[in-house]
Structure 1
């Protein structure tokens, strides 16, 4: 396969065609449209909180389970949006999400948070999935930025302490994936059926460090800072493949890689997110180092962008099979990751890639009739009919991409 850089000149200089002011306006409008969708179609007036699932046709499944990840990401999205541009409806949605999480998801007996509850709020899957708890910390921390709530901050700190007490692998570094309700050993550690059943994963560690960095912004604890540094070291030593600059995904407790699959969305997400975490703790050594890695990881990822501007899903290295589906979250992360590389290098190739990602999203993913983004399209260009809202379809990647790009483009200059 030829790198996308071979033919990008044929698409025109997007950086010159669309001014940063126009980009910023479009992302601001899209941010409002996404949030309006969630306000209009996902609020559960009967049982509280938000529906566990909403179809592509905006029909809620009133019986669907409600996931910790979905509710935590809703909390993060509305809190972040209200901090960016205060809107009373956003604040009320964030309040609603916080109240629901606190009342129904938090395990007052054993600590931590349940993976899911049923439609009425009764605990359903009571395992302690560290990935989900990390997102809860992430959402709570953002809510603290908005409200300065001591209650929310203490809950976030408690969840952080739960992870450090029960999930941290003292001998092998890093964090174990999951536990039973009482934090005892569990056989099935997987996030989902498609994941490998391994004790450690890149996905969970990426979102632990993300959550910890967000918590550090409202609670600058020195031990927390050390733990963030340790997580960055884990990515450097075990997760980032120094030959390819892709991420390895699944591991034994001793950090032996168990699969040969590249996830392009996680590659480009980690490229900018690890740099961000280093910047949050104001470590100049880590920041400069992860800036250099961000460029190398973006450079690797651009080779897997299709001619329509979309980033493919993943590569099975052993079979050399490319999954050519184009998922919504991957394109959102591609925009941020490539624009970050542009800021770091001044290379307009990366801002062109960001612009092409946005054009693809506008053409294929945004549902201009019924709102929000479709899950994605398959290799034949057909829609993937997954829910608009659900366990994994949340206002997180797309809201965050809009907020990130608005902030970055308002500065409109490469970072040196």
Structure 2
């Protein structure tokens, strides 16, 4: 953990999600700039994951370890393991590391063997270390949900990147399956927003609108379809992407920020850092698809609000959120299990990549 002033605490536990995101961030930065400082951090992150999280007996990776590398939570989270696949694949693209590719492939194969739903499609959520189903509801953070939008979205991320480094027919089939499931089951056809929690056969069981995930999905799903190269699928996803971006405008505030979520019809007034980052990318993506300059205006407004309010000019990095009291939280950790340089770094890289097409 790193506090709000940039001071690290080496005694805290370490999570697979955070360490995987660090691996992706610095691998991506190295791909762009070939700066050895970025490679050094990426190498260190990879070694730490390989030495401390990878389960060499049952495959996949555990959820958390203590500061000495002893396992604390041995569950196999599909959400976290999908992040691992995504980040390992990025590291492979940065370095060509063969062991990282094997870990990515093996983790996918464990998900395929134990978590893929051959009847209804998609993937389950949480398993014990040996991949047996979790029956203790107290460790299941998603309650009664058998499947979630969030895990499904990040599986799409993972398979997209994995297919870039390993053109397996099974990976291709699963990526296509997840895109079609998103179009047909996860997106609400009446509102063009994502359902959140599901039962086994993809019936929605909650009334949650997550505007950050909506705008994030609008560009990630298109990226996935483009990697597959299926023209008909790309055209379907392009239409859905525009509609999803348009649906988020109901949560766009006058100051340019995007509201986090709505639960049972009540909008939260919380504004989180990652939602603003995804809004910038999603709005630029919508502009690329429509060439309507209103989307550039939205992207610029979102960035202006973010740069003026979330970017910490004194200690660096970004603040976490404006809370439900409307006040900016300047004391929350800058780096923790769920806070890291991933969303904001990816936003920066995506904006540079996309706008370079028009320079």
Indicate the larger mover: 359-368 or 168-177: 168-177
In the alignment, is residue 241 of structure 1 matched against residue 183 of structure 2? no
Question: Following TM superposition, by how much is the alpha carbon of 1:383 offset from its aligned partner in structure 2, in angstroms?
Answer: 1.8
In the alignment, is residue 255 of structure 1 matched against residue 202 of structure 2? yes
The alignment's TM-score, normalised by the length of structure 1, stands at 0.84
In the alignment, is residue 94 of structure 1 matched against residue 42 of structure 2? yes
What does the per-residue CA deviation read over 1:181-237, in whole Å, with 9 as the maximum and x for residues that have no partner? 1111113579985x4441100000100111011010111112211110000111011
Indicate the larger mover: 241-250 or 375-384: 375-384
- The answer to whether the Cα contact below 8 Å between 2:269 and 2:326 also exists between their aligned partners in 1 is no
In the alignment, is residue 344 of structure 1 matched against residue 289 of structure 2? yes
Q: Residue 335 of structure 1 aligns with which residue?
A: 280
- Paired with 1:137 and 1:205, the residues of 2 have a C-alpha distance of 14
- Paired with 1:231 and 1:105, the residues of 2 have a C-alpha distance of 26
Question: Following TM superposition, by how much is the alpha carbon of 1:169 offset from its aligned partner in structure 2, in angstroms?
Answer: 1.2
Provide closer, same or farther for how the CA distance between residues 210 and 122 of structure 1 changes in structure 2, counting only shifts above 3 A.
Answer: same
- Paired with 2:254 and 2:140, the residues of 1 have a C-alpha distance of 31
Q: Residue 309 of structure 1 aligns with which residue?
A: 256
Q: Residue 147 of structure 1 aligns with which residue?
A: 95
- The answer to whether the Cα contact below 8 Å between 1:188 and 1:197 also exists between their aligned partners in 2 is no
Q: Residue 395 of structure 1 aligns with which residue?
A: 341
- The correspondence for 1:112, drawn from 60, 73, 89, is 60
- The correspondence for 1:373, drawn from 299, 310, 318, is 318
The alignment's TM-score, normalised by the length of structure 2, stands at 0.97
- The answer to whether the Cα contact below 8 Å between 2:194 and 2:210 also exists between their aligned partners in 1 is yes
Question: Following TM superposition, by how much is the alpha carbon of 1:412 offset from its aligned partner in structure 2, in angstroms?
Answer: 2.4
- The correspondence for 1:156, drawn from 104, 125, 130, is 104
Q: Residue 72 of structure 1 aligns with which residue?
A: 20
Provide closer, same or farther for how the CA distance between residues 284 and 191 of structure 1 changes in structure 2, counting only shifts above 3 A.
Answer: farther
- The correspondence for 1:181, drawn from 101, 121, 129, is 129
- The answer to whether the Cα contact below 8 Å between 2:183 and 2:240 also exists between their aligned partners in 1 is no
Q: Residue 408 of structure 1 aligns with which residue?
A: 354
Provide closer, same or farther for how the CA distance between residues 349 and 139 of structure 1 changes in structure 2, counting only shifts above 3 A.
Answer: same
- The answer to whether the Cα contact below 8 Å between 1:69 and 1:392 also exists between their aligned partners in 2 is yes
- The correspondence for 2:226, drawn from 279, 298, 306, is 279
- The answer to whether the Cα contact below 8 Å between 1:178 and 1:189 also exists between their aligned partners in 2 is no
- Paired with 2:40 and 2:2, the residues of 1 have a C-alpha distance of 21
Number of residue pairs matched by the alignment: 358
What does the per-residue CA deviation read over 1:321-364, in whole Å, with 9 as the maximum and x for residues that have no partner? 11011100000000000000001101111000000111011111
Provide closer, same or farther for how the CA distance between residues 176 and 190 of structure 1 changes in structure 2, counting only shifts above 3 A.
Answer: farther
Question: Following TM superposition, by how much is the alpha carbon of 1:386 offset from its aligned partner in structure 2, in angstroms?
Answer: 2.4
What does the per-residue CA deviation read over 1:300-330, in whole Å, with 9 as the maximum and x for residues that have no partner? 11121111100001112x3x21101110000
Provide closer, same or farther for how the CA distance between residues 156 and 271 of structure 1 changes in structure 2, counting only shifts above 3 A.
Answer: same
What does the per-residue CA deviation read over 1:25-60, in whole Å, with 9 as the maximum and x for residues that have no partner? xxxxxxxxxxxxxxxxxxxxxxxxxxxx11112222
Name the structure, 1 or 2, with higher relative contact order (CA <8 Å, separation 6+).
1
- Paired with 1:190 and 1:412, the residues of 2 have a C-alpha distance of 51
**Which runs of 5 or more structure 1 residues have no equivalent in the other structure?**
1-52
Q: Residue 43 of structure 1 aligns with which residue?
A: none
Alignment of 1:161-176 (within 5 A): 161-176=109-124
RMSD over equivalenced CA pairs, Å: 1.4
3-state SS of paired residue (2:209): strand
- The answer to whether the Cα contact below 8 Å between 1:312 and 1:324 also exists between their aligned partners in 2 is yes
Question: Following TM superposition, by how much is the alpha carbon of 1:61 offset from its aligned partner in structure 2, in angstroms?
Answer: 2.1
Question: Following TM superposition, by how much is the alpha carbon of 1:381 offset from its aligned partner in structure 2, in angstroms?
Answer: 3.6
Q: Residue 228 of structure 1 aligns with which residue?
A: 175
- Paired with 1:191 and 1:392, the residues of 2 have a C-alpha distance of 17
- Paired with 1:215 and 1:150, the residues of 2 have a C-alpha distance of 13
- Paired with 1:224 and 1:216, the residues of 2 have a C-alpha distance of 6
- Paired with 1:164 and 1:408, the residues of 2 have a C-alpha distance of 33
- Paired with 2:238 and 2:266, the residues of 1 have a C-alpha distance of 30
